[in-house]
A = this chain, B = another copy of it.
């Protein structure tokens, strides 16, 4: 029986990638398992270089960009970004689209001034606010392109003169995008780009103005640029998993394929949310995410509880649907690796649930 994995992350991985990874651990190809090899070996150097080069190719980055594989996920970037880009006499601006954006903004306050230039907090972050003009002397403008908790996503990337910094942890490589409009993009890899344990950073070298050696070596992007992501021991297996995922993204047709795939899935689930008398979407339609559909019961539903629907789904191997506590209800995460069949199975189940309890 098929498993339909709607978890928000760590999340579904294509079966072909699991198979390749499993074999690479077991078989001591070239004498060693992939998790035994030195990060200074030729074999790992090739893994790192191919992974960095595939990120560059998929994002179609210009020459001012460097691609890094770091550790610590989005939370490490929350403070690493301002450590590198913000001075105490400057202001960094954030568009406050929810919990992740707020937490990122809080960390900037250790290094300078951090201000929300726009926010959707008053309506529990159910839309993407349009950015007010960003002052000329801004250190940067930070956005969270996709908001897993609320199911919102930037469909129009703001135009600003200041460096634009984006947390793309939950929607990297879900669609073609002009990555060259950004100053810095970061993404934990456990949703669309591998497994937990690595962080992809794409950084425009020209925005790095602090003198080399003026901040701790490990958090200085210039350290990792100079050493091509081999300054310290990288999370070798997590980078290998990203390589397998990036190869699979490319071989499957690249970002133009995945945006079609992801829109087919999100169109199907949103059509059912809008049709079904028991459910209502959280986000405004124009800002709905193609990665995470967040929905609740309508106020009229009172004969069943949220856990009943979760259990109804789990009985059909449809898992990971429980919503985040900030919104309640349900969340269907539909990252690149989720097949359309899983969304169809969920839609069928929502219809059956309505027939039985609606």
Contact = CB atoms under 8 A, between A and B. Distances in A.
A357 interface: no
Contacts of A8: 38
Interface residues of A, number: 59
B35 A76 contact: no
Contacts of A217: 75, 78-79, 103, 106-107
B18 A25 contact: yes
A216 interface: yes
A241 B25 CA distance: 12
B196 A236 contact: yes
Interface string A194-209: 0111000000000000
A132 to B, nearest CB: 27
A185 to B, nearest CB: 18
Given A3-B31, A28-B3, A106-B217, A235 B238 contact: yes
Given A23-B22, A76-B218, A78-B218, A10 B236 contact: yes
From DSSP, what is the main secondary structure of chain A's interface residues?
loop
Within the oligomer, what is the number of copies of this chain?
2
A11 interface: yes
A32 B4 CA distance: 10
Contact of A71 (B12, B31, B36, B76): B76
A147 interface: no
Contacts of A46: none
B106 A39 contact: no
A237 interface: yes
Interface stretch (A87-95, A226-234, A249-257, A281-289): A226-234
A25 B28 contact: no
Nearest to A37: B10
Contacts of A12: 36
B107 A10 contact: no
Contacts of A36: 5, 7, 10-13, 18
Contacts of A237: 195-197, 237-238, 241
Interface in A215-268: 215-219, 231-238, 241
A73 interface: yes
A117 interface: no
B31 A233 contact: no
A39 B10 contact: yes
Interface of A: 3, 5, 7-13, 18-19, 21-23, 25-26, 28, 31-33, 35-39, 71-76, 78-79, 103, 106-107, 110, 188, 190, 195-197, 215-219, 231-238, 241, 317, 319-320
16 contacts: A3-B32, A5-B31, A10-B36, A10-B38, A10-B233, A11-B38, A13-B36, A19-B26, A71-B71, A72-B232, A79-B219, A107-B218, A110-B215, A195-B237, A235-B238, A237-B241
